[in-house]
Every structure is written in C-alpha cells, then in structure tokens.
Amino acid sequence: MILNPAIITLILVSLLTALFAVYASIIGYRIIRAWNIESGSESQLALERQTYLISSVLTHLFAIGLFAMFFFIYTVDRIHPLFTGAMCAAGSLNVNRYGYPALVVKLAGAVLSGLWLILNHADNQCPDYPLIKTKYRFLFVVTAFCVFDAYLVTQYFLNLKADIITSCCGILFNAEAAGISGKMAALPSIPAKVLFYLSAALTLRSGIHFRITGRSAGLFSCFSGIFFFVSLVSIISFISLYFYELPTHHCPFCLLQKEYRYIGYPLYAALLTAGIAGMSVGLLERVRGPESLEKRLPSLQRRLSLIAMIGCLVFVMISTWPMLFSDFTLEGY
C-alpha cells in the first residue's frame, strides 16, 4: 500500500459511510416492520428519534460521498507518476483489477445517494413522513453499493505497488483497444454527435413540457437518464478530442489536469447534477399518492427539473465550446 493522507482519507470515508449505512439499514428494517406514526408507544418514539439521527448523519455522509467521488479521481490522477507507463488516472486505475470497478461502483453509488437524499428531503417536508418506508427500502440498495464501494476502494489502495508497470490512457482508450473503452473510442464521430445532441434536445424539450403542463415526469426522467449515459460515452467518443485537439486522444481523465484548465471538473459536475436531478423527478412521481405530498411534490419536482435542465445546458455548452472556437476539425481526419 502507498501511504498517502488522501488515500487514508478515502479509505476511512468509504468505510465509515458503509458502516453507518449498514447500521441505518438495520434501523430501517425495524422501521419498515413497526413504524406507526399514529402510535404514541415508547417503541415508536424511539424509532422517531433514531430516524432523525439517521437522516441527519446520512445526509452529511452521502453529501461527503458525492465529493469523495471527485476526490477519488483527483487522488488517483495525482499518484500516476508513481507507476511506470501511467500518464493520468487511466493508468493508475489500471494498476490492479480493483481500480475501474471501484470507479464504476463509486459513480453508481453517487447517483443512488443523490436520489436518496432527494427522497429523504421530500419525506422530511411532511409532518407524517409518508415516504419513510419507501426511503428505507431504497436505502438497502444504496447500502449494498456503499459496502461494495468500501471493499473495492480498500482493495484497490491496499494492492497498489509502486513498481508496477501499467498502460497509459493512449493505449487503454484507443479505437483499436480491446474492451468497452476501445469500442467507445471507435464510435464514428458524426453519428455520436447526432445522438448526443438529440438526447440533449429531447431532455430539454421534455423538461419544458413538464414545467408547463406538470405531466410526463417519467418521460423527462427517462430522457435525463439516457442523456447521462450518452454523455459519458460521448466524452470518450468525441468531446475529449476537441479539448486535446488530437484525433487519437480519447482519455476522459486528462480533462481533469492543469494543462486543460481542470475543465473536467465543471464538465462532470454539470453532468452529475443533470443526471441526478432529472432522474429524481421521475422517482418522485412514482411515490406520489399520500395526501400530504400532493401539495409539496409538484413544486419540488419543478425545481429539480429546472436544475436538471441547467445542468444539461451547462454540460452541452462546455462540450460545444471547443467545437465552435478552436481550429481543430475532427471530421478532417
């Protein structure tokens, strides 16, 4: 293991989040079985006190977890000089078999944690906590990802050895490389662009429709999810090429480096915001029903849809900027 304050912090945060999520799930199981807001029994009062504590602590831990995902990428990017052949986070993550699975699970966990925080916020708006059982059932899923994330992050950092030879991003994200990274890099740019801008247009159009009519929340949520996935693929397929101004450089991590003005951080933050806020609109639509929620959910969904649309627009604008204002022409190669 490479001793580094950032690495130790990331391991401790992931372990602490996983342990408390497991504890919260145990309490959540009791709440699902015995919660009765109309009861004044001692056990009900104990459950109410516990859910206040759990809700408050998880809100902070999951918020830290969202930040930890970016800190994880930043850390693995900063340690790349320790490995022969690595030029950025792509090479550091390839040092052992836990690196890329840890990143994927951390990303999925961040999205699920964000959705849980929004569900928890909606539940706390009502005095009768109409979503309390739903959010604790959802917490079981989030907890599973937290535990898996803690395992993979710990294994990844424990198995880092400075004398390992790895591959650089130019090999891992190459059109001729084997695996899904090579397939994404090999996608033809024009169809990829059409799909990217079409998914953005459908997301914004369905968002405007939802804000005007209050209908089709599920459709907007679905398009937001598609936009999130398509954008991740598009970064590797063609967006990163315009920032590097190189027709063969598909790395999604070099965007986070100083040479490219750290443009990856606002780019990924905008995408994560758009994805979580957009998908949460549909999630909240599915839990509508309790009378106490009817007056509060529409305004919350409208705010979230606006946040998602702003995130989508910011991501598209950042991605489009070098296409319009640089001399690089991808289709010329």
Query: Which DSSP string corresponds to 39-96?
Result: ---HHHHHHHHHHHHHHHHHHHHHHHHHHHHHHHHHHHHHTGGGSBT--SHHHHHTSS
CA distance 231 to 251: 14
Q: Given 139, 167, 195, which residue is the final one in a domain? A: 167
> Domain tally for the chain?
2
| Tokens (6 digits) for 297 | 């959910």
For residue 95, the enclosing domain spans: 1-167
| pTM of the predicted structure, to 2 decimals | 0.90
Could you give the C-alpha distances from 329 to 140, 184, 245, 246, 322, in angstroms and in order?
48, 19, 8, 9, 10
Segment among 34-38, 146-150, 250-254, 318-322 with least mean pLDDT? 34-38
pLDDT grade, residue 1 (50/70/90)? low
Q: Given 144, 167, 190, which residue is the final one in a domain? A: 167
What are the pLDDT digits (tens) for 226-280? Answer: 999 999 999 999 999 999 988 888 899 999 888 888 999 999 999 999 999 999 9
Q: Given 145, 167, 189, which residue is the final one in a domain? A: 167
Average pLDDT over the chain reads: 89
What are the pLDDT digits (tens) for 63-97? Answer: 888 888 889 999 998 888 888 888 888 888 988 89
User: Do 209 and 89 share a structural domain?
Assistant: no
CA distance 66 to 61: 9
User: Do 193 and 278 share a structural domain?
Assistant: yes
Cβ(25)–Cβ(54) below 8 Å: no
With a pLDDT cut of 90, the percent of the chain lying above it is 54
What are the pLDDT digits (tens) for 128-179? Answer: 888 889 999 999 999 999 999 999 999 999 988 877 788 787 778 877 777 7
